[in-house]
Structure 1
């Protein structure tokens, strides 16, 4: 491929991306749970290795115990959300009263601004009832199929995780056989670094969910906001979706506050508290906890989240960032794809490549200099874990 003309190589790359996207869209119901299982299997590797090597449970026993611990944690999360949602349901009469009050206030404000009477507003709303009902019917149909898809997704996860851990050595051999012997060192480095990045990123996200829930929920609880812990937990989970999730989390927090209070000051308190917690999370806590050696620039992150959401839904949005990080690791170690690694990265030159020709090159010294300028920790392949 090195002897091919540059234009032909670039055309093949673009065609490859197109066909890859098409395959993901067509087979997303198969690929998404498999990808999620792959990341969870990477997270379970330290537990599996401890149970197999130290506790001597055997290969199958170690995998089963690791899965049991995973679903114990997931069961705790389901219990927590069920109890919180149960409290919201108990307050439903009060919520209905508060929502009615806010709607009446909104209608009065709308009347003063536009001159439309409450009666006329009601007529306009009634005219749209059929469209709304049709839209709602379509949404319910989609929700029913989504629920079925979720059950299939959850059912496949433990099977995939078990098989990925059981056949991991076979899969590793398969990967190495794809490449000539001269490239095996780079392949090994890429796989080891990918494991470190995935564990660091996903482990950091679990810690992030915990401290955001405690911090945000605790502050709102002290202020006196109802359903404070639920608001904190929902925001913490949605915050895992870069940029988009925080916006949706703010909206849900405002809606829950509006439905549980007849005053407007709690909304301001919720928004200010969320902004404060986000500032701490983005600038102080998360960089220290995750400490990722691979940094992805904001432009690629946003585009990746939107594309992943369009191709694979919400689960794709959650998986977008670790997938992009792994892709960057692979691109950085592939001579023909290094330019894509540069595009994904955050190694922003301080000078323009138009004026400094050296920045147009992909040499190792230039890359190290850019990493130093952007405070990016260089890759360290020492301390290799046992596969």
Structure 2
């Protein structure tokens, strides 16, 4: 490979990236659950190792770690379902409030535009018919997605068990790909990958707890309806870089509009979200994530968009840790070192057009 011309090397790199993207797109139904199981197995490694110190057999230690994960997931889902039931219990009041807001909007349009109430009703009925057709298509897609989710939930514990059980075999397979003179680099990359994934995912759990407690608790003290549900939604959507906070805020605004006839809670929500997001991004996130995952904003946004296109919400969640792992690998290879620079946040102060030293790859 070192004897090939530089243009040929770059062409091979780009061709490999295209083939990798095509492989992920075609095989996402199999690959994405495996990637998710890989991340979960990394999180469960400390629990597995702790249980192994108690001289438990491999199978028992892995099963206990998976059982702990499933119990934790059920507790989170139970808490979320309680909040959803509280929202559904207020459905008559929500319907009444929404009709009031629609009436106010209709009167505003009559005053500010030339559309009469009858024209608005005709437009509403026309859009409603389109919405019903779109909803039918959406429900069919959701039904297909739910079946995929149930299959995923059934396969996930199996994948995690097998990945932990055969971890030594998989590590040996990785080492056999490289010559012995590169084994030190490979070992370093494997250890740092494990450290980055654990630190990143544990940091995300800290972020979730921080936002639920601070945001949901503050909204609860202000008397905003369904404050904890809004806090939970924002906490989990915030895991999607840059896009999630906007989506969560819009959902929170809709819940407040549907539950309250006043405008003050909307202002309170926007102010609290802004303050909590500022604290999260400038104080909490740099301490729990910033030192481990140094990825620039451009790469993060592109990764989120590509991940969403390939695998939906799951792809958005997994985009950053996947990019972080790729950066660890690229930084330790001579062939792909420039990609590690592209993914990183080490933005030069001066332009390489004037600083010739910036054109040279640093070892």
| TM-score, normalised relative to structure 2 | 0.98
Aligned to 2:67: 68
Aligned to 2:191: 192
- Cα distance in 1 between the residues matched to 2:349 and 2:78: 50
Query: 3-state SS of the aligned residue for 2:225?
Result: coil
- Cα distance in 1 between the residues matched to 2:104 and 2:55: 66
Aligned to 1:41: 41
- For structure 2, the residue ranges without an aligned partner over 5 or more in a row are none
Aligned to 2:10: 10
Q: Is the CA contact (8 Å cut-off) linking 1:200 and 1:291 kept in structure 2?
A: no
Aligned: 1:20 with 2:25: no
- Cα distance in 1 between the residues matched to 2:157 and 2:267: 43
Moved more, 318-327 or 285-294: 285-294
Q: Any residues of structure 2 matched to 1:203-242 within 5 Å, and which?
A: 203-242=202-241
Aligned to 1:379: none
Aligned to 1:367: none
Aligned to 1:385: none
Report the Cα offset of residue 70 of structure 1: 0.5
Query: 3-state SS of the aligned residue for 1:128?
Result: helix
Report the Cα offset of residue 292 of structure 1: 3.0
State the aligned residue count. 363
Q: Any residues of structure 2 matched to 1:1-387 within 5 Å, and which?
A: 1-53=1-53, 55-364=54-363
- Aligned Cα root-mean-square deviation (Å): 0.9
- Cα distance in 2 between the residues matched to 1:179 and 1:114: 71
Report the Cα offset of residue 136 of structure 1: 1.2
- Cα distance in 1 between the residues matched to 2:323 and 2:347: 18
Change (3 A) 1:291 1:346: closer
Report the Cα offset of residue 293 of structure 1: 3.0
- Cα distance in 2 between the residues matched to 1:260 and 1:132: 23
Query: 3-state SS of the aligned residue for 2:2?
Result: coil
* CA deviation profile, 1:265-311 (whole Å, cap 9, x unmatched): 11110011001000000001121223433300000000000001001
- For structure 1, the residue ranges without an aligned partner over 5 or more in a row are 365-387
Q: Is the CA contact (8 Å cut-off) linking 2:199 and 2:292 kept in structure 1?
A: no
Q: Is the CA contact (8 Å cut-off) linking 1:328 and 1:344 kept in structure 2?
A: yes
- Cα distance in 1 between the residues matched to 2:282 and 2:43: 25
Query: 3-state SS of the aligned residue for 2:335?
Result: helix
Report the Cα offset of residue 59 of structure 1: 0.8
Query: 3-state SS of the aligned residue for 1:133?
Result: helix
Q: Is the CA contact (8 Å cut-off) linking 1:201 and 1:292 kept in structure 2?
A: no
| TM-score, normalised relative to structure 1 | 0.92
- Cα distance in 1 between the residues matched to 2:312 and 2:64: 31
Report the Cα offset of residue 6 of structure 1: 0.7
Q: Is the CA contact (8 Å cut-off) linking 1:176 and 1:184 kept in structure 2?
A: yes
- Cα distance in 1 between the residues matched to 2:203 and 2:232: 16
Query: 3-state SS of the aligned residue for 2:322?
Result: helix
Q: Is the CA contact (8 Å cut-off) linking 1:200 and 1:292 kept in structure 2?
A: no
